[in-house]
Amino acid sequence: MKRAVALQINGDTYDVLISPNETLLDVLREKVGLVGTKKGCDLGACGACTVLVDGEAHLSCLMLAVDAAGREIVTIEGLAQGGDLHPLQQAFVEKGALQCGFCTPGMILTAKAALDEEANPTDATIRKKLAGNLCRCTGYKKIIEAVSSAAALNRKER
């Protein structure tokens, strides 16, 4: 049976009618229309569907949408503020950390969760935390550089 659920996404409330067997990923893409969250493997192995749930990196393909009620969800669409890119987004652009861009939303949101947790990570820590996000284009080097430079910028601004 479908349920009426209020989802808090990027600071807005979305009232959606969902079945318990719908994943957060499918609801975000098909019912809310936020298609920045990507469907890759759909089995929790590629990280493309990463969103932040109460500030933590979650795989939206392995989370029931009904379970997301009452929790604060941030998708890639919620990162830029007032037309200004988030420092991580800016760093990805400046360092050329993307090619096809399919993995980028998941990469950036995982990096955000990691930097919010630890402002001054080593490259090894960044690699470890991004290891569940697969990129088939870049070879990862530029991605690590971008996250590292966003972290440095963050520290300078503090």
Partner 1 sequence: MRLPKFDYHEPKDFHEASMILSREPGARILAGGTDLLVNMKHKVERPAAIVNIKKIPGFNNLRVVDGVVRIGALTSLKKIFNHPYIAEKLPALASAASSVGSYHHQSMGTLGGNVCQQNRCKYYNQSAWWRSSRELCFKAGGKTCHVVGKEGQCWSSYCGDTAPALMVLDARAVLESEGGSREVDVENLFSGEGKSPLRLGEGEILTEIIIPREAANGFSVYKKIANRESIDFPIVGAALWASPDGGEIRVAYTAVDRKALRARKAEQVLRERTIDQQTLEKAQGLVLEEAKPVNNSVYPSSYKRKLMGILLGSMVNQLMGRSES
- Give me the residues that bind partner 1 (CB under 8 A), please: 19-23, 42-45, 47, 50, 56-59, 62-64, 66-67, 110, 113-114, 128-133
Closer residue to partner 1 in complex, CB, 73/130:
130
Closer residue to partner 1 in complex, CB, 64/85:
64
Nearest Cα residue to 102 out of 65, 76, 124: 76
| Dihedral, 115, 116, 119, 121 alpha carbons, nearest 10 | -40
Closer residue to partner 1 in complex, CB, 56/94:
56
Q: Where are the extended beta strands (E) located within 35-146?
A: 50-53, 56-59, 72-74
